[in-house]
Structure 1
Amino acid sequence: MSTDSKEAEQALTEQVVASFAGTPDERLRTLMQSLVRHMHAFVREVEPTEAEWMSAIRFLTDTGKMCDDLVRQEFILLSDTLGVSMLVDAINHRLATGATDTTVFGPFYIRGMPERAYGENIAFTPGTPALVHGRVLSTDGEPLANAVLDVWQTAENGMYSGQDTEQPHGNLRGRFRTDAEGRYAISTIVPVSYPIPTDGPVGRMLEATGRHPWRPAHLHFMIDAPGHRTLVTHVFDREDPYLGSDAVFGVKPSLMVDYRECPADHELARRFGFDGPFREARYDFILDRS
């Protein structure tokens, strides 16, 4: 490439950057100018053919077509599988405060799920019965009463309610509140490993690059308490084979739990209404003050 060509390309970049110089919002101006510089640098580095660039445009167009307002968000899935979601999460939670580690939000959260009583069963489909319980605390050890835990997980078929129209409304979802001592209890089923959806552009990307689509078994939590930062996290099954190769890079060692076996005559079985053997997992959440 001639020196003149390189200079012309760089001049184009600077012209586009300058076009945003009058953006009234300073943060937006920074974002747009940085985006242009990095995108132009990427294009100069890889030198895509026009056909490759149109393939990229079609990929993004197809990604948008797979999104809806309620259940499917293919752009979140794309961000997750490229590690961008976890990078944004890490940047926004850099301070080592002792609070529970965060992780990705995921694309299958549904607002407005039913309020559940302490220990209520959220599983309307078969699975290995489980009790997940513990406390919600502040970083100074203070129990957080009336904290709201929004919970969701997949059924044994590896799909979320809403995503799977055969599941009852609200299956394996619900909003729990802590008691005066900050305690919560959820009757559910042991979560299972599952593949992220592969019927869209993200699935085609994973296949083309030789990556698997599997996520290790986990339970999603979004926890709110007055005067504290909202916590979005997962609790993972420590025995899951995909912990080291999560398709969305969301695993952190501090978020792993054991699902220990409990017999039908266990004291917890009587308290929470299990009529046979079940698994128990304990996890305490620690929230940062806002």
Structure 2
Amino acid sequence: MSDTALTPTAAASGASATERFLTDKTSLPTEGTDTARVNTLATEVLTAVHDVIRRHRVTYDEYNALKAWLIAVGQDGEWPLFLDVWIEHVVEEVAGAAREGSKGTIEGPYYVPGAPALPSTAVLPMRENEPGTPLLFQGQVTGVSGEPLGGALLEMWQADDDGLYAQFAPGLPEWNLRGSVVADAEGRFAVTTVEPAPYQIPTDGSCGRLIAAAGWHAWRPAHLHLKVSAPGYEPLTTQLYFRGGEHIQDDVASAVKPELVLDPRPASGGGNEVVYDFVLDPAS
């Protein structure tokens, strides 16, 4: 980190992620719940926990430590972080199992809707002399039958060269390295940005205490986030990684897939460039 004053705290990041989730997901249905489905899922989760307790002969000291930790996760506002890092990748695996087009992966806790609209050839909003290696990211959005999806929307967000996200770390402009790119009539796009850096998830809160106690690491590989959508097609949420990057093989969030690894090449004008096409499934 080039400036420790800019280091996001777990409490601040957790509060931001929780607020965003509650704001964005309030339209999720809560009525008409299938009680049989809830009964099945809740019973099997609890049974799995009971089995762990019995197999490992969990002590009262360990149980009380778990209870205190679960309470602290809520107090720290870190449930979005915990769930997105250690649980979401399996939910996404199940949800995307039937997808014929491009692979998806986790959204993570740092998505913010409403990023500035940009044309098909654009520069992501960034500071003057934004640190990092320049990157030209280009490609085309099509359907599974090869039809170009003109006007497809690519919402992009990423960490900067210090591994920080705008709106979740202090000192960054509101929409730094965030934008909503509208593809041209042939579904093509060309976005200039900078290569992001690997980063650690915040470790000064409850998730960090779990990581330390278990002897894990907290690192995510460098990646670009995207949500790609077009009318009549299933939206795609994904992340793209960089070949040879640190922690590709041991991502703390277990979100890397071979199909999502980019292979940038030197660009003629300096920096790197990469081509990556997105294929969307028709809406069901």
Q: CA deviation at 1:24?
A: 6.5
Alignment of 1:38-53 (within 5 A): 38-53=48-63
Distance in 2 separating the partners of 1:247 and 1:189: 23
Q: CA deviation at 1:173?
A: 0.5
Contact 2:263 2:274 in 1 (8 A): yes
Q: Does 1:284 find its partner at 2:265?
A: no
Deviations 1:253-280 (A, max 9, x none): 111112211233xxxxxxxxxxxx2211
TM-score, scaled to structure 2: 0.82
Q: CA deviation at 1:147?
A: 1.4
- Residue equivalent to 1:181: 186
* AA aligned opposite 1:283: Y
Unpaired runs of at least 5, structure 1: 1-22, 68-73, 265-276
- Residue equivalent to 2:5: none
Larger-Rg structure? 1
Distance in 2 separating the partners of 1:249 and 1:32: 24
- Residue equivalent to 1:57: 67
Task: Supply the RMSD in Å over aligned alpha carbons.
Answer: 1.7
Alignment of 1:1-290 (within 5 A): 25-67=35-77, 74-82=78-86, 84-95=87-98, 97=100, 99-122=101-124, 123-124=126-127, 125-264=130-269, 277-290=270-283
Q: CA deviation at 1:251?
A: 0.7
Deviations 1:107-153 (A, max 9, x none): 11112211122222223232221111101111111111111111110
Asked which structure has the greater RCO (Cα within 8 Å, sep 6+), the reply is 2
* AA aligned opposite 1:92: A
Distance in 2 separating the partners of 1:36 and 1:245: 29
* AA aligned opposite 2:98: L
Q: CA deviation at 1:205?
A: 1.3
* AA aligned opposite 1:119: T
With over 3 angstroms needed to count, the CA separation of the structure-2 counterparts of 1:96 and 1:154, relative to structure 1, is: closer
Distance in 1 separating the partners of 2:199 and 2:50: 37
Unpaired runs of at least 5, structure 2: 1-32
Contact 2:163 2:199 in 1 (8 A): yes
Distance in 1 separating the partners of 2:184 and 2:174: 26
